[in-house]
């Protein structure tokens, strides 16, 4: 045990079991070794290690990486964590030279570095998966841009819209999530190595060198803050929470719109399940699980924030638990991102059912169009709103659609009506006339799709460039 010189008794076995973190951090071995290689090179460059010792340590670490990767080296619980297991094996291989690796370093700045390296790679993978989801929305928007469906407010039919416009709404939501993930990625871009336990080091460490070797923009600026803060984890949780909320809301939509009561969206059979007793059932289990897992993701964010809110500066052992919820959340988000893109790209529309659903609320669907028609004729909007409201009441009483009214009936209810009123009483015309920027008009949706493709291409190129940049810093 690395602190045995201070203590007269060995650590109790139950304490070792309670305090170990190998169930969490053994997966970090490769990233921990990367940080150690950079640290060893730096120690050799500043003369704390000889050139020969630095090379010995780096070669030893690379061999340990191979042993772990090939399953030859298993962790020991008595060594607590991934850091001490690797260091112990290095000393076992190199003797006193291996014991020099931890010079000028604490496990506090070591784990902070390891986690940033691990999360950097993980966030890039999440970004790749998010791009596939965005691509799926663009695919559906392109295919369904001329399909007219009902838009809803308060879950009541509101106005006719392009289904492509609907898919692009989710594209925008998840594109914002991509931006939040990008922010979380950028918050990792400082290297903690050299901060030590909390106050830096008396040794001539070159923090800029280790930062550069590992592909960070710069070293962290304050050693106390370095080992105390977990903002970069909170930034991830912020992304994950909103992503999960967006995924749950979209899942709820698709569950509703594919139900028999709505019935105008069609889910792929391969992403649904049946019933053990009812042969006719087609259950949207995948979407229900997407919706159901959201609470877990939100809970993990609260777990971290509640842990942090009562901690004094700087490092406290409570922070060992920061990874438990983080890894669980990342696993959930990754799972959702694995199933959503292929589900979305195979989701289709029953246009006849969509048209039938709109017909039921046709009197209401075009009411705003009539009000705006009257505004163009010179009526104040509130007067037009009142007149059209009375007209809708008349239609409901007579069980007629707006298209079934005669010109005489129109003028009886709204004297300002002209024969050209019939030119706007079309679902397609209603959609096409909503031609404001960002609106549902077919030409606007086409423009949104084109812009979306450009933005997606821009994100894809930037992600590829970042991956290539980091390849140059692979240790």
* CATH code where residue 257 lies: 1.20.200.10
2-16, 277-291, 299-313: which range is least confident on average?
2-16
Contacts of 348 (CB under 8 A, 6+ apart): 265, 266
Q: How far apart are CA 93 and CA 88, in angstroms?
A: 9
Would you say residue 146 lies in a domain? no
113 and 98 belong to one structural domain: no
Q: How far apart are CA 189 and CA 212, in angstroms?
A: 11
177 and 284 belong to one structural domain: yes
Q: Looking at residue 50, which CATH number applies to its domain?
A: 1.10.275.10
What does pLDDT average to over the chain?
Answer: 94
Contacts of 277 (CB under 8 A, 6+ apart): none
Would you say residue 229 lies in a domain? yes
29-43, 65-79, 228-242, 415-429: which range is least confident on average?
415-429
Catalytic residue among 50, 259, 275, 356: 275
pLDDT tens per residue, range 109-126: 999 999 999 999 999 999
Do 185 and 120 form a contact (C-beta atoms < 8 A)?
A: yes
**pLDDT class of 36 with cuts at 50, 70, 90:** very high
**pLDDT class of 186 with cuts at 50, 70, 90:** very high
Residue-range definition of the domain harbouring residue 276: 108-135+158-350
**Between 10 and 424, whose confidence is greater?**
424
Would you say residue 71 lies in a domain? yes
Do 213 and 42 form a contact (C-beta atoms < 8 A)?
A: yes
Q: How far apart are CA 149 and CA 374, in angstroms?
A: 25
CA torsion sign, 190 to 194 to 197 to 200?
negative
So what's the pLDDT on residue 101? 98
Catalytic residue at 83?
no
Q: How far apart are CA 419 and CA 108, in angstroms?
A: 78
Residue 39, pLDDT above cutoff 60: yes
Q: Which two tokens stand for residue 354?
A: 């969509």
Would you say residue 460 lies in a domain? no
Boundary (domain end) residue, out of 350, 379, 404? 350
Q: What angle do CA 408, 412, 414 make, to 5 degrees?
A: 110
Catalytic residue at 275?
yes
Backbone angles phi, psi at 346, to 5 degrees: -105, 0
So what's the pLDDT on residue 363? 52
So what's the pLDDT on residue 149? 95
191 and 85 belong to one structural domain: no
Domains in the chain: how many in total? Answer: 3
Q: Which of 106, 421, 201 is nearest to 430 (CA)?
A: 421
**pLDDT class of 193 with cuts at 50, 70, 90:** very high
Other CB atoms closer than 10 Å to residue 273's CB: what's the count?
13
Q: What is the DSSP string of 282-323?
A: -B-HHHHHHHHTHHHHHHHHHHHHHHHHTPPSS--GGGGGHH
Q: How far apart are CA 442 and CA 461, in angstroms?
A: 29
Q: How far apart are CA 146 and CA 82, in angstroms?
A: 56
Do 366 and 395 form a contact (C-beta atoms < 8 A)?
A: no
199 and 82 belong to one structural domain: no
329 and 408 belong to one structural domain: no
Do 99 and 43 form a contact (C-beta atoms < 8 A)?
A: no
339 and 284 belong to one structural domain: yes
**pLDDT class of 364 with cuts at 50, 70, 90:** low
Do 272 and 260 form a contact (C-beta atoms < 8 A)?
A: no
Q: Which of 28, 207, 204 is nearest to 111 (CA)?
A: 28
38-42, 103-107, 258-262, 460-464: which range is least confident on average?
258-262
CA dist list (Å): 30 to 14, 26, 129, 409, 419: 29, 9, 22, 78, 75
188 and 297 belong to one structural domain: yes
Contacts of 437 (CB under 8 A, 6+ apart): 444
Q: How far apart are CA 57 and CA 101, in angstroms?
A: 7
Q: Which two tokens stand for residue 27?
A: 């997966």
169 and 282 belong to one structural domain: yes
236 and 323 belong to one structural domain: yes
Backbone angles phi, psi at 147, to 5 degrees: -85, 130
Direct distance between the N- and C-terminal alpha carbons of the chain, in angstroms, rounded to an integer: 28
164 and 281 belong to one structural domain: yes
pLDDT tens per residue, range 247-305: 999 999 999 999 999 999 999 999 998 878 887 889 999 999 999 999 999 999 999 99
Would you say residue 15 lies in a domain? yes
**pLDDT class of 17 with cuts at 50, 70, 90:** confident
Q: Which two tokens stand for residue 418?
A: 């002209």
Give how far the C-alpha of residue 224 lies from the chain's centroid of Cα atoms, to the nearest Å.
Answer: 30
**pLDDT class of 7 with cuts at 50, 70, 90:** low
Would you say residue 98 lies in a domain? yes
Do 313 and 106 form a contact (C-beta atoms < 8 A)?
A: no
Contacts of 404 (CB under 8 A, 6+ apart): none
182 and 318 belong to one structural domain: yes
Q: How far apart are CA 168 and CA 440, in angstroms?
A: 10
DSSP 158: E
Residue 435, pLDDT above cutoff 90: yes
So what's the pLDDT on residue 189? 98
208 and 242 belong to one structural domain: yes
Q: Looking at residue 388, which CATH number applies to its domain?
A: 1.10.40.30
Q: Which two tokens stand for residue 365?
A: 């669907």
Would you say residue 54 lies in a domain? yes
Would you say residue 455 lies in a domain? no
Residue 3, pLDDT above cutoff 80: no
Do 234 and 302 form a contact (C-beta atoms < 8 A)?
A: no
């Amino acid at each position: 045990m690395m602190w045995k010189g201070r203590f007269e008794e060995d650590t109790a076995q139950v304490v070792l079991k309670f305090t170990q973190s190998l169930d969490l951090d053994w997966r970090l071995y490769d990233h921990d070794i990367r940080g150690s290689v950079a640290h060893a090179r730096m120690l050799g460059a500043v003369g704390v290690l000889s050139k020969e010792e630095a090379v010995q340590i780096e070669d030893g670490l690379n061999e340990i990486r191979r042993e772990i990767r090939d399953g030859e080296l298993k962790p020991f619980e008595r060594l607590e964590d991934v850091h001490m297991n690797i260091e112990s094996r290095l000393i076992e291989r190199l003797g006193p030279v291996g014991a020099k690796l931890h010079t000028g370093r604490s496990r506090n700045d070591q784990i902070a570095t390891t986690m940033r390296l691990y999360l950097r790679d993980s966030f890039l993978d999440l970004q790749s998966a998010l791009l596939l989801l965005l691509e799926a929305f663009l695919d559906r928007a392109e295919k369904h841009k001329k399909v007219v469906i009902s838009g809803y407010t308060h879950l009541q039919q509101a106005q006719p819209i392009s289904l492509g416009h609907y898919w692009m709404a989710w594209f925008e939501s998840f594109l914002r999530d991509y931006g939040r993930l990008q922010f979380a990625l950028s918050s990792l871009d400082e290297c903690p190595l050299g901060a030590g336990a909390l106050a830096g080091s008396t040794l001539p460490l070159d923090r800029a060198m280790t930062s550069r070797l590992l592909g960070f923009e710069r070293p962290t600026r304050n050693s106390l803050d370095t080992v105390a803060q977990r903002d970069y984890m909170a930034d991830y949780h912020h992304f994950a929470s909103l992503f999960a909320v967006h995924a749950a809301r979209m899942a709820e939509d698709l569950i509703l719109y594919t139900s028999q009561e709505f019935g105008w969206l069609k889910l792929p059979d391969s992403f649904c399940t049946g019933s053990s007793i009812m042969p006719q059932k087609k259950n949207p289990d995948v979407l229900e699980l997407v919706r159901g897992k959201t609470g877990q993701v939100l809970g993990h964010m609260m777990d971290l924030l509640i842990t942090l809110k009562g901690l004094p500066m700087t490092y406290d052992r409570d922070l060992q638990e920061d990874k438990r919820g983080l890894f669980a959340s990342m696993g959930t988000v990754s799972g959702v991102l694995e199933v959503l893109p292929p589900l979305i790209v195979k989701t289709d529309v029953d246009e006849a059912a969509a048209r039938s659903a709109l017909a039921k609320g046709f009197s209401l669907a075009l009411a705003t169009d009539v009000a705006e028609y009257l505004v163009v004729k010179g009526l104040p909007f509130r007067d037009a709103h009142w007149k059209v409201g009375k007209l809708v009441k008349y239609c409901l009483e007579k069980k007629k659609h707006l298209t079934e009214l005669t010109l005489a009936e129109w003028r009886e209810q709204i004297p300002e009506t002209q024969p050209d009123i019939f030119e706007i009483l079309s679902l397609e015309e209603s959609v096409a006339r909503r031609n404001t920027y960002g609106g549902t008009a077919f030409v606007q949706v086409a423009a949104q799709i084109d812009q979306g493709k450009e933005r997606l291409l821009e994100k894809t190129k930037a992600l590829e460039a970042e991956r290539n940049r980091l390849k140059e810093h692979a240790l």
